[in-house]
Amino acid sequence: MQQHNALEYDYTVAKMFAIAAIVLGIVGMSIGVFIAFQLAFPDLNYLFGEYGTFSRLRPLHTDSVAFGFTLSGIWAAWYYSGQRILKVSMAESPFMMFIGKLHFWLYIAGVAAVVVSLLMGITTSKEYAEFEWPIDIAIVVVWVVFGISLFGMIGIRREKYLYISMWYYIAFYVAVAMLYLFNNMEVPTYLVTGLGDWYHSVSLYAGTNDALVQWWYGHNAVAFVFTTPIIAMIYYFLPKESGQPVYSYKLSLLSFWGLMFVYLWAGGHHLLYSTVPDWMQTMGSIFSVILILPSWGSAINMLLTMKGEWGQLQTNPLIKFMILASTFYMFSTLEGPIQAIKSVNALAHFTDWIPGHVHDGTLGWVGFMVIAAIFHMTPRIAKREIYSKKLMDAQFWIQTTGIVLYFSSMWIAGITQGMMWRATDEYGNLAYSFIDTVTVLHPYYTIRAVGGLLYLIGVFMWAFNVYKTYTAGRVLEREPQNATPMA
């Protein structure tokens, strides 16, 4: 991972995706905070007519954070670290530079189409797969272009051996391509029947089969968007930032193959107590529990990379972001398998414990890692030191507080919900009406919204710090070898 001194890396595309990550993070999380307050204060649903209701905004929040903020951050990291890992500059290949810029602008066009269509209420109503068929085709084109970038760079590399991060980037590409294609098989109704809107479609699958394919895709969207490329990022950025080699390369490979084999079969845990065959439900539960091993293998490897260097946590906020990201990854990958146990799932399913689990991972693991990666890249792209270390430190503590408020309130709310739904009186009748459960959860919804607001404030602090770095940061005479320079 030593820098090749003869090379001048070109970060044009990395910078474009980093800016997109910041903008889409602000947009997506602002919508998320607003709809969180809507759950606590329902009258907020009437502020903007049909375009401001929870049902209209929720898919926009999910997709702009999952496939806007996160994917942009991943691709910024790829166009930055890929060159350095492979020892090849995009400036050397006009074709690769063209592909990178084409990838970005096609992606931005797709994002615009998604925003407009979801705001208009045009949706397939499938979780993480709400887009209608014209946008699905556009996304496939974007993915093909990304594939040309990924494998094209590998093809012209100088480095003989592929560092572990590249394995995870390749898995990210191949798995998402397979998952997206199969889950989004759909029939355009107008083209087949002449009825309905030209953009409307119905799934190629029906009933239980549709549910099975959807949650094979849905859970593995988490596996191969929120996990594998984020692991690729931390395996590059943590050693680079700390100056420490990865603790165990063998453990990184063992965890990689464990994740590849196990994760793909865990999606059935979303369909426990449904019409899905019982053996499939059991398989989903078993593989979910087994998933603890490779997940914790990766996380422990990251933590042990800091062995003997824990003092850096006191001096470098970026190390704090990455180490806490790894810790949240451990929490989330223990909590998910626990929720997949059938007896626990009977209590947890459809409750607020589920979004509590999801946001433990997305805000703590994914969010912190994207933030840390872009903070690490910025001085090396802008050739300026980070504008304010104090601001970065304050951001870390504000966002950490927000995450803790978020997931702890949702844990309590979810378990309370599940117990109230199941409670019966001496005659076997339900002890509480649905509205009783809604009423009792109001304070927890308020705490969740406040937690989300704190995290969003941190995102604005991040954006401001990056902006000021580009415009007012002290100029660096040479690139730092590891720890990011901060004013």
CATH code of 164's domain: 1.20.210.10
For 312-362, how does the pLDDT look when each residue is reduced to its tens digit (9 = 90+)? 999 999 999 999 999 999 999 999 999 999 999 999 999 999 999 999 889
CA dihedral 278, 282, 285, 287 (to 10 degrees): -130
For 363-412, how does the pLDDT look when each residue is reduced to its tens digit (9 = 90+)? 999 999 999 999 999 999 999 999 999 999 999 999 999 999 999 999 99
DSSP 204-230: SS-HHHHHHHHHHHHHHHHHHHTTHHH
- Which amino acid is residue 300, in one-letter code? I
User: How far is 438 from 441, CA to CA, in rounded Å?
Assistant: 5
User: Using 50, 70 and 90 to split pLDDT, how confident is the model at 484?
Assistant: confident
For 279-315, how does the pLDDT look when each residue is reduced to its tens digit (9 = 90+)? 999 999 999 999 999 999 999 999 999 999 999 999 9
Helix axes 207-225, 249-263, angle to 10 degrees: 170
Indicate yes or no: pTM above 0.85: yes
pLDDT of residue 6: 61
Residue 466 confidence (pLDDT) above 90: yes
pLDDT of residue 477: 86
324 part of a folded domain: yes
For 400-454, how does the pLDDT look when each residue is reduced to its tens digit (9 = 90+)? 999 999 999 999 999 999 999 999 999 999 999 999 999 999 999 999 999 999 9
2 part of a folded domain: no
Determine what percent of the chain is predicted with pLDDT higher than 90.
93
Q: How far does CA 447 lie from the centroid of its chain?
A: 23
Number of domains in the chain: 1
172: containing domain: 12-472
Mean pLDDT over 131-137 rounds to 95
- Which amino acid is residue 393, in one-letter code? D
Residue 5 confidence (pLDDT) above 60: no
Mean pLDDT over 149-160 rounds to 95
pLDDT of residue 1: 44
7 part of a folded domain: no
107 part of a folded domain: yes
486 part of a folded domain: no
Q: Which of 246, 267, 305, 230 is nearest to 74 (CA)?
A: 230
Using CB atoms within 10 Å of the CB of residue 53, give its burial: 0 to 12 exposed, 13 to 18 middle, 19+ buried. Answer: middle
User: Using 50, 70 and 90 to split pLDDT, how confident is the model at 47?
Assistant: very high
pLDDT of residue 52: 94
446 part of a folded domain: yes
**Token duo for residue 4:** 């090749």
DSSP 75-144: HHHHHHHHHHHHT--GGG-HHHHHHHHHHHHHHHHHHHHHHHHHHTT-----TT----HHHHHHHHHHHH
Residue 3 confidence (pLDDT) above 80: no
484 part of a folded domain: no
For 179-228, how does the pLDDT look when each residue is reduced to its tens digit (9 = 90+)? 999 999 999 999 999 888 999 999 999 999 999 999 999 999 999 999 99
Q: Which of 117, 143, 6, 16 is nearest to 63 (CA)?
A: 117
Mean residue pLDDT across the chain? 94
Helix (H, G, I), strand (E, B) or coil at 341: coil
6 part of a folded domain: no
